[in-house]
Structure formats: C-alpha cells, structure tokens
C-alpha cells in the first residue's frame, strides 16, 4: 500500500512540475497545446492574389541546416492570438487577412525545453491588396560535442526575397492535434 501511495505522490509531483515548465507564449500566439503535423510538396503555381479587400501574409521558414539527422524545425505561426498554421524545412504557406494592425508570433514546435523557448514576435499594418512576407529564420551551427547553437528570429522580407523564397521553397500543409 505504501508503494502505491509513493507512486501516486511522485506522479502528482511530475505533472505539477511539467505544467510549471510550460512555455508562456506572447498574446499573438495560439494555444501552446496545439501541435502541427506538417507535410511539404512542390508547387508549380504561385499563390493566388489576395482576396478582394484583403491583404495577404506569406509565412516562410528559412532553415540553413537540419537540426539533427533527418530532423527539421517545425515552426508555428500565430496571428492575432490564434495559430494560422505551420511549416518546416524551407517551406511557406499563405493567409489572407483583413486590413489593419496585426500581431504575429513564430514559435518553434518542440518537446525539448531549450528549443521550445525559441519564440519571436512582430507586428505590421496590412493594406488591402498588398502581400507581406515574413520569415522564421532558423540558423543551426555546430557547437562541438554533438551540440548545436540555434539562432531563431521572425523578420519581414522584401518583395523580391519573398517571391524568390516562394518560387524556390515547397508549399506547406498541415493537420493540427492536441
């Protein structure tokens, strides 16, 4: 009976410790419990123009190197407090938005605590008919002893670079799960 009690107390402690370590995300992000399964595919057609009266955001991931053997970063993108989607391994996706001020978030989806803290935010004012490109930049550099340093940022791209990335990268699609 004492063994069961000890196991029960230990389990309760671990659940509390895990919840206490949960990442606090900026308001621009979505619910941290939502995860994405991302697939990429080569797209021969460029994205359609923004819907009438709306602006368009193209979320791009620039990743210079795999994080590990056959492991690429999956980045979730928040838009005004909800997840807009995710991509990985040099890919993009498109979202149409209403004109006005928008708050963006990029969060590296990972089960590893150190990586999960890679979050960046941005804001901008969207105008009808315009296309805005934002890139989550994932820069991985070796640090010795099978370690890597990770530099993570969200930044706007100019039209030329954004159009080039869309042409060169794959289109991302995803499914969400909790």
For 45-54, the pLDDT digits (tens) are 899 999 999 9
pTM for the whole structure? 0.82
Q: Give the three-class secondary structure for 51.
A: coil
Contact present, 140 and 158 (Cβ < 8 Å): no
Q: Is 159 exposed, middle or buried, given 0-12, 13-18 or 19+ CB atoms closer than 10 A?
A: exposed
Rounded Cα distance between 59 and 157, Å, is: 10
For 75-134, the pLDDT digits (tens) are 999 999 999 999 999 999 999 999 999 999 999 887 666 566 789 999 999 999 999 999
């Amino acid at each position: 009976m004492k063994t069961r009690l000890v196991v029960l107390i230990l389990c309760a402690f671990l659940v509390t410790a895990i919840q206490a370590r949960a990442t606090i995300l900026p308001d621009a992000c979505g619910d941290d419990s939502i995860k994405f399964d991302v697939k990429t595919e080569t797209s021969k057609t460029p994205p359609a123009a923004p819907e009438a009266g709306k602006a368009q955001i193209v979320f791009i991931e620039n990743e210079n190197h795999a994080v590990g053997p056959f492991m690429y970063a999956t980045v979730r993108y928040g838009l005004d407090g909800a997840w807009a989607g995710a991509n990985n391994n040099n890919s993009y996706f498109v979202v149409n938005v209403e004109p006005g001020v928008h708050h963006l978030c990029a969060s590296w989806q990972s089960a590893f605590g150190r990586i999960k803290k890679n979050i960046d935010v941005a804001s901008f004012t969207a105008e009808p008919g315009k296309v805005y490109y934002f890139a989550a930049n994932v820069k991985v550099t070796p640090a010795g002893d099978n370690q890597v340093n990770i530099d993570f940022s969200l930044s706007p791209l100019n039209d030329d670079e954004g159009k080039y990335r869309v042409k060169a990268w794959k289109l991302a699609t995803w499914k969400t799960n909790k």
